[in-house]
A and B are shown apart, each in its own frame.
Chain A
């Protein structure tokens, strides 16, 4: 999540996740690492204050 905030995104969320690799035609490494498909949403911040607030929340700053 921090990598998204550092890039200027806020409201990061993962609204869906599921196993999308099981029973693929060829074997792969997905199962070894418990790999899931996910949907990710975020919004490009409109102000620097939004980004700073998002980063502060991720750091669990007591001021937020």
Chain B
């Protein structure tokens, strides 16, 4: 995982929004990462989990891991999905926790949120909602969640300390963090860490 470094956060957020708005609106364009069903299979998603999820929401999936392989989800649990993108993971979680559970998906990219909300409306699910917000400042009450999931997001936040403290804030004591992310096996030079393009590409 990346170290905390000084990059202009608004410039970084702008670059990330620009990239992921394209993933939302034009997922077939091709990116420096895999997307969609092919990616889900690569990450070990069970085909059954995708049953009933609208294809448009699957097509814009751009995670880097599989939160659902880290630990079980129980009926009735409350889940927060940070950086939910087009909502595929949120909609899977909503199925797993059932009608007595709840899922809040949070994202900062308007096009992704719109797509996530459309997908939820299509499947007529009542236990998931999507809110606009930042990974470092979640629109969720303290100790609300049993599980916090995220997929390919932590590496995009410049202040890991602040981000993880915020994620801890919304989890109940004993709550589970289940995250997909990245690690690098070779050191990234300090000068390279300050290149915005390196964060998104």
**Chain B: interface residue total (CB-CB under 8 A):** 45
Decide if B183 touches A44 in the complex (CB within 8 Å). Answer: no
Q: Residue on B with the closest CB to A34?
A: B185
Q: Assess whether A36 is interfacial by the CB under 8 Å rule.
A: yes
Cα–Cα distance between A20 and B44 once the two chains are bound (Å): 11
Cα–Cα distance between A9 and B66 once the two chains are bound (Å): 19
Q: CB-CB < 8 A to A17: which residues of B?
A: 183
Decide if B165 touches A41 in the complex (CB within 8 Å). Answer: no
Cα–Cα distance between A28 and B34 once the two chains are bound (Å): 11
Cα–Cα distance between A44 and B144 once the two chains are bound (Å): 12
Q: Residue on A with the closest CB to B188?
A: A33
Q: CB-CB < 8 A to A4: which residues of B?
A: 164, 177
Q: CB-CB < 8 A to A27: which residues of B?
A: 32
What's the minimum C-beta distance from B76 to chain A, rounded to whole angstroms? Answer: 18
Decide if B164 touches A24 in the complex (CB within 8 Å). Answer: no
A9 touches which of B168, B184, B187 (Cβ 8 Å): B168
With A7-B167, A24-B34 as contacts: A37 and B186 at CB distance below 8 Å = no
Q: CB-CB < 8 A to A20: which residues of B?
A: 33-34, 39, 42-43, 64-65
Cα–Cα distance between A3 and B201 once the two chains are bound (Å): 24
B177 touches which of A9, A14, A18 (Cβ 8 Å): A9
What's the minimum C-beta distance from B41 to chain A, rounded to whole angstroms? Answer: 11
| Stretch binding the partner chain, chosen from B6-14, B52-60, B67-75, B123-131 | B67-75
Q: Residue on B with the closest CB to A39?
A: B65
Among residues 22 to 63 in chain B, which have CB atoms less than 8 Å away from a CB atom of chain A? 30-34, 39, 42-44
The 9 closest A-B pairs by CB, nearest first: A28-B32, A25-B30, A34-B185, A7-B164, A37-B64, A33-B184, A46-B173, A41-B70, A8-B168
Give me 30 A-to-B residue pairs in the complex whose CB atoms sit less than 8 angstroms apart, sorted by A's number.
A6-B164, A8-B168, A16-B44, A16-B66, A17-B183, A20-B39, A20-B42, A24-B31, A25-B32, A26-B31, A26-B32, A28-B201, A29-B32, A30-B32, A33-B187, A34-B185, A35-B185, A36-B184, A37-B65, A37-B181, A39-B178, A40-B65, A40-B70, A41-B70, A41-B177, A42-B177, A43-B174, A44-B173, A44-B176, A44-B177
- On A, residues with C-beta under 8 Å from B are 3-4, 6-9, 14-18, 20-21, 23-30, 32-46
